[in-house]
Amino acid sequence: MKNKVVITGLGALSSLGIDVDSMMYRLREGYSGLVPSSIGGYSTALGYLHPAFLTPEDSGDLSKDKGTLMALEVAKQAVSQATQQGNIPFFFGHEKSESESQSFRIGVFWGVGLAGAHWLDRNYAEFCRDREDSRPSAWTIPAIMPNAPAAAIAIEYKSRGACMSLANACASSAMAIGEALLALERGDIDIAIAGGSDASLLPAILHAWARTRILARNSPDSADHASRPFDVNRNGICLAEGAACLVLEREAHAWQRGAKALARLAGYGHCCDAVDLTEPAALGQAYAIQKSLQHASVPANAVSYVNAHATGTRKGDAAEMMALHQVLGAAFSNTPISSVKSALGHTVGAAGALEAVVSVRSLMERWIPPTTFLRNIDPHFSDAYLVKGQGIEAPNIDYVLSNSFGFGGCNASLVFGQP
- Residue 28 has phi, psi (to 5 degrees) of -65, -35
Structural contact between residues 415 and 292, judged by C-beta atoms closer than 8 angstroms: yes
Structural contact between residues 112 and 197, judged by C-beta atoms closer than 8 angstroms: yes
Nearest to 339 by CA among 366, 365, 377: 377
94 is a catalytic site residue:
no
295 is a catalytic site residue:
no
Rounded to whole angstroms, the Cα distance separating 21 from 26 reads 9
The packing angle between helices 66-83 and 117-127, to 10°, is 140
The rounded radius of gyration (Å) of the Cα atoms in the chain is 20
309 is a catalytic site residue:
yes
Which of 118, 270, 295, 309 is flagged as catalytic?
309
Which of 50, 118, 295, 346 is flagged as catalytic?
346
Rounded to whole angstroms, the Cα distance separating 245 from 148 reads 16
- DSSP character string of 299-354: -GGGEEEEE----S-HHHHHHHHHHHHHHHGGGGGGSEEE-THHHH-B-GGGHHHH
CA 377 to chain centre: 25
Q: How many CA atoms lie within 13 A of 402 on its CB side?
A: 33
- Residue 357 has phi, psi (to 5 degrees) of -60, -45
- Residue 340 has phi, psi (to 5 degrees) of -80, 0
Which of 50, 118, 163, 170 is flagged as catalytic?
170
Residues serving a catalytic function are 170, 309, 346
